[in-house]
Amino acid sequence: MADSAMSQLPANEFDAVKAFVEALKRLEPKIQERALRYASEALGLQFPMPSQGTAGQLAPTADRSLPAPPVPSPALDIKSFMNKKAPRTDTQFAAAVAYYYRFEAPEAQRKNWINAKDLADAARLVSRRRPGNARITLHNAKNAGYLDAKGEGEFQINSVGENLVAMALPGDEHSEAPRPATKRRFRENKNPAGRQPRKSAKKK
Q: Is the pLDDT of residue 110 over 80?
A: yes
- pLDDT given at position 188: 43
Q: Which of 17-21, 37-41, 63-67 has the lowest mean pLDDT?
A: 63-67
DSSP characters over 68-109: PPPPPPPPPPHHHHHHHH---SHHHHHHHHHHIIIIIS-GGG
d(CA 24, CA 48): 17
Per-residue pLDDT of 54-99, as tens digits, reads 444 544 554 555 555 555 567 789 999 999 999 999 999 999 999 9
Helix residue ranges per DSSP H, the chain: 2-7, 13-24, 29-42, 78-85, 90-99, 116-125, 134-143, 159-163
Cβ proximity of 163 and 183 under 8 Å: no
Q: Give percent of the chain with pLDDT exceeding 90.
A: 43
> Is a pLDDT exceeding 60 seen at residue 155?
yes
Mean pLDDT within 42-46: 70
Look over the chain and give the mean of its residue pLDDT values, rounded to a whole number. 75
**Under 8 Å between Cβ of 123 and 83:** no
Quote the pTM value.
0.51
Q: Which residues pair with 155 in a beta bridge?
A: 114, 149
